[in-house]
Structure 1
Amino acid sequence: MIGSRSTSPRTTTLVCALLMLFGGTEAMAVEEPDYTVARTFPDFELRRYPPHAVAETEVAGPFDEAGNQAFRILAGYIFGDNRADTKIEMTAPVSQRPAAGGGERIEMTAPVVQRPASGTEGETFVVSFVMPDRFTLDTLPEPVDPRVRLREEPGKLMAVRRYSGRWTETSYRDNETGLLRAVEAAGLKPLAAPVYARYNSPFSLWFMRRNEVMVEVAETGAKP
């Protein structure tokens, strides 16, 4: 509670960083990855994303806490904790996916069957920041923190379901299930584990938040 205890310098720095990164996102433009809408379905949108660079880190812990742990690490990188002491502007979304099998192409049922149960100690996630379009993998500054890795995300065809509300695992799982069912009904085949994407500040009102669940799908197979 404000005023009831002292705040550590580390906590104050993190709060300031979050405010600087996200505090004005509802009032000013924040860069997002380019994409084209290939087709619109009743329950999801089919988007084609070109290749783009990301900074990511892997963290262990419950679903609802993984994003916060990873944010501290990645925020340090874009705030200048890199070999060039370069500050990098924040973009959206911040994405989160299961570490096991998340980057590999897998069968339709694998995203549901293979993910660990909620809250298990062995649960591991990869959390990513999309890098601004002005950077390539070759021009991004080298991270100082070995937990941060830079990677080029290849171009993909993604089925995307958008929803609002709080950042809870229950809400995400409900929408993940809805997306996978809708994708199957449309005759599309998922190729990897679903990704959780968050676009807004932790300080934004819950009912104004933009959240998405995304899954890569094969190029062919959609029903007319």
Structure 2
Amino acid sequence: MMRCDLRGCTGMARKVEEPEYDVLVRHGEFEVRRYSDMIQARLSVDRNNEFKPSHSFRRIAGYIFGGNANSTRIPMTSPVQIWHSGTYSTMAFTMPSFLSEEDLPHPNDEDIQITAVPAGEVAAIKFSGFSNRSKVSRLMQKIIHLTEKKGYIGRNEPILAIYDNPSTTIPFLRRNEILLPLENTGGGTIE
């Protein structure tokens, strides 16, 4: 049964797990967060030859929908993350927090890597709507500029985080973020 509301249309209403974090500080257009450690299923491909987000998504989705050594279905989480480094593009799905690295079955697709990600701090800019190349590029440059102005040091390339299914969510209700991993800020939480 199709269910539609102001957030979009889905085959069934469900809430998916998202990575836990604490907000350390807010600086106008961005905030600094501390994420708990997590495990991700990642796929890196040469973006000059083979990177198509929909293909990468299907390959990792295949893993969580049973394309693994145990034919085990793994619950979907949000967001899907995408970043570029050199000539490679990486897409990552965060694994549910109740699963350890040892609990996860080996992927049938040998290009999918299970990676432990240690706790760390990131700067985040939220945005809605389409996540097209020009908008994402502009926001990635913006987060680098804003964090440098505040004295933060980025330690990797910015990451696009897509929370909602683009094919079933009305564009202005889509939740997206640009995340910039930071060197340790040493900050405490605020709320």
TM-score by length of 2: 0.86
Q: What is residue 127 of structure 2 aligned with on the other side?
A: 163
* TM superposition outliers: structure 1 runs of 4+ over 4 Å: none
Q: Any idea what SS the aligned residue of 2:184 has?
A: coil
Aligned to 1:186: 150
The alignment covers a number of residue pairs equal to 177
2:43 is aligned to: 57
**Contact 1:59–1:66 at 8 Å: present in 2 too?**
no
- Give the whole-Å Cα distance in 2 for the aligned partners of 1:80 and 1:57: 16
In the alignment, structure 1 residue 127 sits paired with structure 2 residue 91: yes
Q: Which runs of 5+ in 1 are unaligned?
A: 1-21, 101-122
1:172 aligns with 2:126: no
**Helix, strand or coil: the match of 1:77?**
helix
Cα RMSD between the aligned structures? 2.1
> Normalized per residue, which structure has more strand?
2
- The one of 173, 182, 185 equivalent to 1:217 is 182
Q: Percent same amino acid among aligned pairs?
A: 30
Aligned to 2:61: 75
**What is the CA deviation profile of residues 136-156 of structure 1, one whole-angstrom value per residue up to 9, with x for unaligned ones?**
111101111101110101111
Structure showing greater radius of gyration is 1
Alignment correspondent of 1:4 = none
Q: Structure 1 residue 46 and structure 2 residue 10: aligned? A: no
Compare the two structures and name the one with the higher helix fraction.
1
Deviation of residue 221 (structure 1)? 8.2
1:208 correspondence with 2:173 = yes
Shift of 1:195: 0.8
| Length-normalised TM-score, structure 1 | 0.74
In the aligned structure 1, how far is the partner of 2:38 from the partner of 2:13? 25
2:11 & 2:29 partners in 1: Cα distance?
26
